[in-house]
């Protein structure tokens, strides 16, 4: 019992340290986003900036092509280390790196062939006279993002070690390099979409390339990837769990990525800019809550594997209070939104208060759902989340088309996004209660 209490205290102490460092990293990341938006907007203008936001959101697809292997690995890694199985953990890391490499090489070739053969201007509703090198921009961007695809697993590795703060620091470092590069572009007057794309996609890759030798050759050599430890059986187990994470992630990406594309297609590329500015403003609270929740994920895995349900129950009570605090902050953000927009981006772009309210509601629905989903992810009971996320993604595009054709109102478009996420929120709340109380059966326990 004493040993369990000691492990529980260590877990809580590690959690608190990670939340504190993550707040610093994410706080800096939030500042970078706030600074980069007006600088990029000044470099590119409203129309070209809208095109860049659409391209960058498309790149999220590549980020999720790992079929959930990153999240599957972090869960399995936490399980193996909780049971002291270091050799299996090293084999797991080796096998996951190998699988990601096998996935990304043919994917890159297919994407390059697609962009060479398709009409990118028609696909994104972009005017050739305003951006003459769109094909080159897409190919350079997709190449660098694919190169980052494998090495970003380092972040998942640290999460599996219950050190998400390190992952957040790596992300913040990449964003810092991107901001510096964007500022240089702005000051030199080389206001090119190609240059902006290069800076924003090459920066995170450079950070991960530098982090790889430090992580696996110096800090954790006993867990470093090795070709001789690649195990297809191990990879299969990660894929089984990872595919569930992948479908959940891909569904979220569909809602986020296609929202930009649909706004560009159904309204205009220039409408993407005010929507994204509003989204980034209110997603500060999403970032804050993610910082708080992220360390709970693999801490929950560790606690659940050790049978420490009391720790999980105590942790969720703390999140309940934090959720109320987030809600109050978001209400204040709505009240001062026009004032903040005027300082942040100037008065050239006007944002309707209705859009601020609609986006705030959407973000809070995501936050409230996350309060439960991070614990459920840590326990690994994903089937219900998978089904509801996939349904939301399938229904989103046709419903959005119908609503926009009927109303021609972007607020109604955002309302569709809100409505489709509510069933998942309700299901997460019910499932978490059943899991903690030992009452989960059937799909609630899968």
Q: What is the pLDDT of residues 290-329, one digit of tens each?
A: 888 877 777 777 777 777 778 888 888 888 888 999 999 9
CA distance 352 to 349: 10
Number of Cβ within a 10 Å radius of residue 116: 11
pLDDT attached to residue 272: 82
Predicted TM-score of the model (pTM):
0.72
Mean pLDDT of 336-358: 87
Residue 1: per-residue pLDDT: 47
Kindly list the domain boundaries of the chain, sorted by start residue: 2-445
C-alpha to C-alpha distance for 166 and 155, rounded to whole angstroms: 7
How much is the mean pLDDT over the chain?
85
Which residues have CB under 8 Å from 243's CB, separation 6+? 67, 68, 72
Contacts 24+ apart (CB under 8 A), 379-383: 379/300, 379/301, 379/304, 379/435, 380/75, 380/241, 380/301, 381/431, 381/435, 381/440, 381/444, 381/445, 381/446, 382/241, 382/244, 382/245, 382/248, 382/446, 383/244, 383/443, 383/446
For 14-50, how does the pLDDT look when each residue is reduced to its tens digit (9 = 90+)? 888 888 888 888 788 878 888 888 888 888 887 888 8
Residue 72 scores a pLDDT above 80: yes
pLDDT at 413: 92
Buried b (16+ CB within 10 A) or exposed e, 137-148: bbbbbbebbbbb
- In angstroms, the CA 377 to CA 75 distance is 9
Please give the pLDDT value at position 127. 80
Which residue in the block uniquely carries the two structure tokens 């972090």?
74
The 8-class DSSP code of residue 374 comes to H
φ, ψ for residue 152, nearest 5 deg: -70, -10
Question: Per-residue pLDDT tens for 196-237?
Answer: 999 999 999 999 999 999 999 999 999 999 999 988 777 777
As given in the structure block, the two tokens for residue 442 are: 């059937």
Neighbouring residues of 4: CB distance < 8 A, sequence distance ≥ 6: 306, 308
Most confident of 74-88, 127-141, 305-319, 356-370: 356-370
């Amino acid at each position: 019992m004493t040993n369990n209490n000691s492990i529980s205290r260590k877990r809580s102490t590690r959690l608190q340290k990670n939340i504190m460092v993550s707040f610093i990293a994410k706080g800096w990341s939030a500042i970078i986003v706030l600074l980069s938006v007006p600088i990029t907007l000044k470099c590119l203008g409203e129309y070209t900036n809208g095109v860049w936001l659409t391209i960058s959101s498309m790149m999220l697809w590549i980020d999720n092509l790992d079929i959930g292997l990153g999240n599957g690995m972090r869960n399995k890694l936490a399980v193996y280390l909780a049971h002291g199985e270091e050799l299996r953990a090293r084999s797991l890391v080796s096998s996951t790196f190998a699988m990601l490499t096998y996935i990304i090489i043919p994917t890159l070739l297919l994407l390059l062939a697609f962009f060479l053969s398709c009409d990118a201007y028609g696909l994104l509703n972009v005017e050739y006279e305003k951006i003459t090198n769109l094909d080159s921009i897409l190919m350079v961007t997709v190449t660098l993002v694919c190169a980052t695809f494998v090495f970003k697993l380092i972040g998942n590795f640290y999460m599996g070690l219950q050190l998400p703060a390190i992952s957040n620091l790596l992300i913040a470092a990449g964003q810092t390099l991107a901001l510096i590069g964007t500022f240089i572009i702005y000051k030199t007057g080389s206001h090119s979409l190609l240059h902006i794309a290069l800076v924003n996609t090459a920066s995170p890759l450079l950070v991960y390339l530098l982090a790889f030798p430090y992580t696996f050759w110096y800090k954790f050599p006993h867990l470093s990837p090795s070709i001789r430890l690649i195990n297809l059986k191990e990879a299969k187990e990660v894929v089984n769990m990872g595919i569930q994470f992948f479908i959940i992630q891909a569904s979220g990406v569909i809602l986020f990525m296609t929202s930009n594309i649909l706004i560009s297609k159904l309204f205009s590329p220039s409408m993407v800019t005010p929507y994204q500015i509003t989204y980034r403003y209110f997603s500060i609270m999403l970032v804050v809550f993610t910082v708080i929740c992220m360390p709970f994920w693999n801490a929950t895995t560790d606690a659940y594997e050790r049978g420490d349900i009391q720790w999980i129950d105590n942790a969720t009570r703390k999140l309940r209070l934090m959720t109320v605090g987030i809600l109050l902050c978001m209400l204040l953000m709505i009240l001062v939104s026009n004032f903040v927009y005027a300082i942040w981006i100037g008065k050239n772009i006007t944002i309707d208060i209705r859009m601020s309210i609609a986006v705030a509601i959407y973000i809070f629905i995501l936050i409230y759902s996350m309060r439960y989903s991070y614990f459920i992810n840590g326990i690994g009971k994903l089937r219900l989340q998978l089904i509801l996320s996939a349904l939301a993604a399938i229904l989103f595009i046709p419903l959005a088309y119908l609503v926009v054709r009927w109303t021609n109102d972007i607020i109604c478009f955002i309302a569709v996004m809100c409505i489709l996420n509510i069933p998942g929120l309700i299901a997460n709340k019910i499932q978490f209660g059943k899991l903690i109380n030992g009452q989960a059966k059937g799909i609630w326990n899968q």
